[in-house]
Structure 1
Amino acid sequence: MPTISKKGHDMPASPIRKLVPYAEEAIKNGKSIYHLNIGQPDIKTPEVALNAVKKNDIEILSYSRSEGSDTYRKKLAKYYNGHNINVTYEDIIVTTGASEALLFLFSSTMDPGDEVIISEPFYANYIAFSTASGVKVVPAVCDINDNFALPSVKAFEKLITPKTKAILICNPGNPTGYLYSKEEIEQLAALAVKHDLFLVADEVYREFVYDGHKHHSIMEETNIDEHAVVIDSVSKRYSMCGARVGCLVTKNKLVRETFLKFAQARLSPPTYAQIASEAALDTPQSYFDEVIAEYVGRRDLLIKELNTIKGIKVAKPKGAFYCIVELPIKNADHFAKWLLEEFHINNETVMVAPADGFYSTPGIGANQIRIAYVLDKESLIKAVYILKEALKVYKD
């Protein structure tokens, strides 16, 4: 019998999506599920983006350029300029989601056996991208007891070896909601220059920053043009996850030229989705003001309700719409399955994402879950109540 590749064997299942069969079975059995497991916003997509597709009169749905359409990239560059990021459209390559941008970047800048340092816990698919590229993830472990703050510069620098090629951060963070300060960005930029590394920032949640804080992009640093790479996406910003449009932004010409070869091999990003994404850039600031106010309200309510549960620990996010919760159990993976298979209150249950899949360090996060507060407040209250009651009867 033919065998699969070692790479295929090592590829991890998504901690976010691997429980879907259990959820589908629960629904077949008549249960309703509160989905706390996936970052699919319930916020409506801006009408201007939807109408750009609905009212379009295209007669031939043709390829776009492999870099993405010039009109979209020029408008995107204007958006970045408005956020103190001085780039031109030529610094941007449009991708099929931020996932493709990260995968192509790994392949463009790292060889098998090279290392990338990532603050942990991190977006689970970073492991998938590194596995697909043969790259080793070196975690900079952050602690829930410190609200997942970045380790000291000295501790971070100790992780750098001759095989280190890049530092990767998500800012604000998925799954923690951690927001990197301007000082932390400056420290990481200095490390990247000192050790001749790439500094990669996944900034897909840049609009979602709370409590008067400000997002500081690595592209605002003036001395790291050859080192800085930003990954971005329309998925969360405009509640357009299904559009699958992202981009890479960098002033490093060699990285762009190399990246483009991978982009050419997949031909082009989706045309209609680029049309919608271009139109979405006309979304007024009032849309984001309302969305941010809604997420702040949900976050505060969620943390208040969670803190009524005996034995739990929760980190307060400053951005994005996720939080990590430590439960008084041993195995969150088993607990998540049990919730779907065996527990319900009036045929209602919850679906969570076990957090161990957001760590690469063995044994860490086994008793943690990630919650995405992308449900309305009434649903969040009900979901936390179900969690609270479930923990009273659950046996490890």
Structure 2
Amino acid sequence: MPTVSKKGEQMPQSPIRKLVPFAEQAAKNGKNIYYLNIGQPDIKTPEVALKAVKENNVEILSYSKSEGSEIYRQKITNYFKDHDIHVNAKDIVVTTGASEALLFVFGSIMDPDDEVIISEPFYANYIAFSTASGINVVPIVSKIEDNFALPSVEAFEKLITPKTKAILICNPGNPTGNLYSKEEIQKLTAIVKKHDLFLIADEVYREFVYDGETHYSIMQEKELEQHAIMIDSVSKRYSMCGARIGCLVSKNESVIQTAIKFAQARLSPPTYAQIASEAALDTPRSYFDNIINEYIERRDTVITELQKIEGIKVSKPKGAFYCVAELPIKNSDHFAQWLLEHFDVNGETVMVAPAGGFYSTPGYGLNQIRIAYVLNKKSLIKAVNIIKEALKVYKD
């Protein structure tokens, strides 16, 4: 009998999506579910983006350039300029989501068995992308007690080997909501310069920064021009997750030209989604101001409610729309499934993301969950109350 590949066997399940069958069954059983497991914003997509698709005059839905529409890439540079990021259209490759961008980056700068250092917990699909690319993730642990701050320079340098090709960060972070300061970015700059590495930054949550903080991009570090590779996406920024449009950005010409070869192999990013994404760039600043104020209120609501529960430890995010909570349990995978299968409060339950899947170090994060505060405040209060009541009766 034919067998699947070892790579396929090693490919991890998504900690965010693997519980979907249990949620579907719970819904069929009549339960109302508060979905805190996935970063799908409930904020409406900008009308200008939807209108561009509905009212366009495209007669032939043809391929675009492999690196993305020239007009769209030029327009992206104007958006970046507003964020003090100065790049040209030739420095950008448009991709089918940030996911494809990261796969292109891994393929462009690393060979099988090369290593990338990532501060954990990190976006779970980084493990999947590294598995698909045949490279190895070397984790460096950040702790909830330190609000998931950047580990020390010394901790990074202990992990660097001849196989190390890059350090990867998510800023602001998923799943932690941590925001790296300018000083932390400059520490990473010194490390990659010293050891001649790439610094990859997933900056898809750039717009979601709170408490008067400012996002500092790796592309603002002039010394990093040949080392910096930025990943970006419209998914979260414009509540356009289904568009699947992202990009990779670098001033390193060799990286871009290599990434374009990967882009040519998959032909082109989706045309209609680029039309929508290009139009979305005309969204007024007030759209983001309103969203940020809403997310600050949601964050404060969920943190306040969680802190009322005995035995819970929770980080306070400075960006994105996630937080990690440590619960008085042993196994959050079992707890999350139990919530869907066996628990409800007045016919309502909660779907959360077990945090063990956001770590690559075995045994880490097993008593933690990631919460995406993408629901309105009333729903968040109800959802956290369900967790509170569940913990009163749950047995590991």
Question: Is the structural similarity TM-score above 0.5?
Answer: yes
Match of 1:317 in 2: 317
Match of 2:214 in 1: 214
Match of 1:131 in 2: 131
Deviation at 1:140, TM superposition (A): 1.2
Match of 2:283 in 1: 283
* Residue 131 of structure 2 is aligned to residue 151 of structure 1: no
Match of 1:308 in 2: 308
TM-score by length of 1: 1.00
Match of 2:380 in 1: 380
| Large movers: runs of 4+ above 3 Å | none
Deviation at 1:372, TM superposition (A): 0.1
Deviation at 1:166, TM superposition (A): 0.2
Deviations 1:304-362 (A, max 9, x none): 00011110000000000000000000000000000000001111000000000000001
Deviation at 1:224, TM superposition (A): 1.1
**Any residues of structure 2 matched to 1:98-177 within 5 Å, and which?**
98-177=98-177
Give the Cα separation in 2 of the matches to 1:158 and 1:32.
48
Give the Cα separation in 2 of the matches to 1:143 and 1:136.
22
TM-score by length of 2: 1.00
Match of 1:86 in 2: 86
* Residue 226 of structure 2 is aligned to residue 226 of structure 1: yes
Deviation at 1:59, TM superposition (A): 1.0
Match of 2:8 in 1: 8
Where 1:204 maps in the other structure, the secondary structure is coil
Letter in 1 for 2:73: R
**Any residues of structure 2 matched to 1:22-61 within 5 Å, and which?**
22-61=22-61
Match of 1:271 in 2: 271
Deviation at 1:62, TM superposition (A): 0.6
Give the Cα separation in 2 of the matches to 1:28 and 1:64.
42
Deviation at 1:296, TM superposition (A): 0.1
Deviation at 1:104, TM superposition (A): 1.2
Q: How many residues align?
A: 396
Match of 2:299 in 1: 299
Letter in 2 for 1:260: I
Give the Cα separation in 2 of the matches to 1:134 and 1:270.
27
Deviation at 1:101, TM superposition (A): 0.4
Give the gaps of 5 or more residues in structure 2: none
Letter in 2 for 1:275: I
Match of 2:329 in 1: 329
Letter in 1 for 2:13: A
Over aligned residue pairs, what C-alpha RMSD do you find?
A: 0.5
Deviations 1:40-60 (A, max 9, x none): 000000011110111111111
Where 1:232 maps in the other structure, the secondary structure is strand
Deviations 1:230-259 (A, max 9, x none): 000000000000000000000011111111
Deviation at 1:149, TM superposition (A): 0.6
Give the Cα separation in 2 of the matches to 1:153 and 1:224.
17
Give the Cα separation in 1 of the matches to 2:278 and 2:217.
21
Letter in 1 for 2:39: G
Give the Cα separation in 1 of the matches to 2:337 and 2:267.
40
> Aligned residues: percent identity?
76
Letter in 1 for 2:252: N
Deviation at 1:157, TM superposition (A): 1.3
Match of 1:188 in 2: 188
Letter in 2 for 1:391: L
Where 1:223 maps in the other structure, the secondary structure is helix
Give the Cα separation in 2 of the matches to 1:293 and 1:225.
34
Deviation at 1:130, TM superposition (A): 0.3
Give the Cα separation in 2 of the matches to 1:366 and 1:22.
20
Letter in 2 for 1:187: K
* Residue 200 of structure 2 is aligned to residue 203 of structure 1: no
Letter in 2 for 1:201: A
Give the Cα separation in 1 of the matches to 2:268 and 2:194.
36
Deviation at 1:159, TM superposition (A): 1.1
Letter in 2 for 1:134: G
Where 1:199 maps in the other structure, the secondary structure is strand
Give the gaps of 5 or more residues in structure 1: none
**Any residues of structure 2 matched to 1:57-72 within 5 Å, and which?**
57-72=57-72
Deviation at 1:154, TM superposition (A): 1.1
Match of 2:340 in 1: 340
Where 2:334 maps in the other structure, the secondary structure is helix
